[in-house]
Chains A and B, each alone.
Chain A
Amino acid sequence: GENVEQHPSTLSVQEGDSAVIKCTYSDSASNYFPWYKQELGKRPQLIIDIRSNVGEKKDQRIAVTLNKTAKHFSLHITETQPEDSAVYFCAAKRGGGADGLTFGKGTHLIIQP
């Protein structure tokens, strides 16, 4: 089955700096890669996703890049703000079916004032 590795497990950055979280996946058939943000005690919420026919996608301060050959994808957050503090999860799945998502173990992002 699919295996998703996520690094780092904890990331501390100064407010206003950029943050990068990286994930690798094992199943070459995976073609959908979402990123979820989870605040303490809350549900995971989708912040951005990318499909395998696209190399990069941006939404304001958030961007995701995908390298299918190397089987890795990354989340980039620019101009970090205190409200960006949360746990971020990457995930992967095969498209075209109802298979569930395989998640990474999460990155705790801490924004230092």
Chain B
Amino acid sequence: NAGVTQTPKFQVLKTGQSMTLQCAQDMNHNSMYWYRQDPGMGLRLIYYSASEGTTDKGEVPNGYNVSRLNKREFSLRLESAAPSQTSVYFCASSTSWTGGDIQYFGAGTRLSVL
């Protein structure tokens, strides 16, 4: 039982390049999330998916796209990377039941855009 798995762990891109961050969970969770973490800013929600087939924008969606491929997998795509997207990206999943949920995080992807 691996929990939430993210790949890659590290990535360096040049401005304008594209890439996809992968996330998979094996806890049979319905909901999945992408956050970015910048120094002094806490974690900010980029996109989320309440269930397979649905996605919604979070606080900072500009410059990103997502795909909920199936119940297990939720990918984040940068079509044309910019230096402002240099950050640590965390994927999370939760059961999302009424009254609150517990979110479990992956180990993160450290992305540098030069």
Residues of A in contact with B (beta carbons under 8 Å apart): 1, 6, 9, 31-32, 34, 42-46, 49, 51, 89, 93, 95-106
Contacts and interface: CB of A to CB of B under 8 A. Distances in A.
Contact of B45 (A44, A95, A101, A104): A101
A97 B96 CA distance: 6
A29 to B, nearest CB: 12
A61 B98 CA distance: 28
B15 to A, nearest CB: 26
Nearest to A87: B42
Secondary structure class of chain A's binding surface, majority of residues = loop
A98 B43 contact: no
Contact of A32 (B49, B58, B59, B99): B99
B51 A43 contact: no
11 contacts: A51-B100, A95-B99, A95-B101, A96-B99, A98-B48, A98-B50, A99-B48, A101-B33, A101-B45, A103-B42, A105-B41
Interface of B: 30-31, 33, 35, 40-45, 48-51, 58-59, 90, 94, 96, 98-108
B100 A93 contact: yes
B44 to A, nearest CB: 7
Contacts of A49: 100, 102
B50 A106 contact: no
B54 to A, nearest CB: 9
Contacts of B102: 34, 46, 49
